[in-house]
Amino acid sequence: MKGKAETIKDYHERINQVLLFINNNLEEKLTLETLSSISNFSPFHFHRIMRAHLGESIGEYILRIRLNTAAQLLRFSNETVQDISFKVGYETPSSLNKAFKKRFYLSPLEFRSKQAQLQPDINIIKLDLQTMEKFKLNPKIAELKDKKVIFIQSIGDYGDNKTADTWNKLMDYVKKNKLFSWRMELFGISHDDPNITETDKCRYDACVTVSKEIKPEGKIGFKVIEGGKYAIFRYKGPYTGFGHVYDAIFRQWLPQSSYELRNIPALEKYLNDPKKPRPEKLVTEIYIPIS
């Protein structure tokens, strides 16, 4: 018989597998049978376990992720509503239209039109009135290799203490398992746009690169961050400025560039320890996946 701590770790590992599968397969038919088999929970208990973890039913979670992903694609890509429908798991644009309107009170085309009107006419933006830091829209374009990472996901407001606690737990694991190396990189993945997703449901992955595949353990997951072409922006300033940074990139730089977004999350690479320098001295690279 498994001990209590081992059972909790096992549950977290199985839940992580389900959430990773959903995130990577939105275009597929995500049935109860498929997801419960991935988790190795019985279909009878699967719904209750996932609701307890997510704070909503698995069906509500999948619907919300699909519609929020569609909203992001409508905001920041030129893809047609039909193509977006297929990408997020709807067989027809009319099906997406009905569900989208129920959540956002606008049709996909009305939503896209409204977002376009919000585009600011700026090339440089002030991010913090106290530090007067400025962010320039002059990225480096680079090809990245796939990156193996261990990660912990937190759900909630990006600015609350959950994010810091997540990083503390991840670094404790790195230290305990002697995974430190001089090539180690620290990445954050903010899966959701707070302008679209309720802040208490925003998903954030704290990630540390590793040299080999690591077996998942409790809340510690393993995955591969997809390589390819990225536009890399350098930002110096407090993490509270990230929202303005992303708005400037997606509303100003991207439409004027010749690039299209790839359908994977952006990355934040942290270049110094947030506990040591003052917030205005923090340096972050923002990796935007492009084609």
- Write out the CATH class of domain 4-117: mainly alpha
The whole-angstrom distance between residue 107's C-alpha and the CA centroid of its chain comes to 24
For each successive 10 residues of the chain (291 residues), what is the average pLDDT? 60 89 92 89 81 88 94 88 94 94 93 73 46 69 96 87 88 92 92 85 93 90 95 90 83 82 90 80 92 89
User: What value does the CA radius of gyration of the chain take, rounded to a whole number of Å?
Assistant: 20
**pLDDT of the residue at 119:** 55
**pLDDT of the residue at 124:** 46
**pLDDT of the residue at 134:** 59
- Residue spans of the domains in the chain: they are 4-117, 120-146+227-291, 147-225
Fold of 120-146+227-291: Multidrug-efflux Transporter 1 Regulator Bmrr; Chain A (3.20.80)
**pLDDT of the residue at 5:** 53
Give the closest residue to 224 by CA, choosing from 238, 237, 211. Answer: 211
Q: What is the pTM of this model?
A: 0.81
**pLDDT of the residue at 224:** 95
Convert the chain into a string of H (helix), E (strand) and C (coil). Answer: CCCHHHHHHHHHHHHHHHHHHHHHCCCCCCCHHHHHHHHCCCHHHHHHHHHHHHCCCHHHHHHHHHHHHHHHHHHHCCCCHHHHHHHCCCCCHHHHHHHHHHHHCCCHHHHHHHHHHCCCCCCEEECCCCCCCEEECCCEEEEECCEEEEEEEEECCCCCHHHHHHHHHHHHHHHHCCCCCCCCCEEEEECCCCCCCCHHHCEEEEEEECCCCCCCECCEEEEEECCEEEEEEEEECCHHHHHHHHHHHHHHHHHHCCCCECCCCCEEEECCCCCCCCHHHCEEEEEEEEC
**pLDDT of the residue at 118:** 61
